[in-house]
Structure 1
Amino acid sequence: MVKVVTCIPAYNEEKTIARVVIEAQKYSDLIIVCDDGSTDYTGIIAEKLGAIVVKHRENRGKGAALRTLFKKALEFSPDIVVTLDADLQHDPKYIPLLVNE
Structure 2
Amino acid sequence: MSASPRARRMTGAQAGAVTARILSAAVGGYALAYAATAFLSVYLPMERPDRVSFASLASFFVWVATILYVFAARSAWRATWVPLALSLLLGLAAFLPGGYGVRP
Query: TM (normalized to structure 2)?
Result: 0.27
Structure with higher helix content = 2
Rg (Cα) greater in structure:
2
Query: TM (normalized to structure 1)?
Result: 0.28
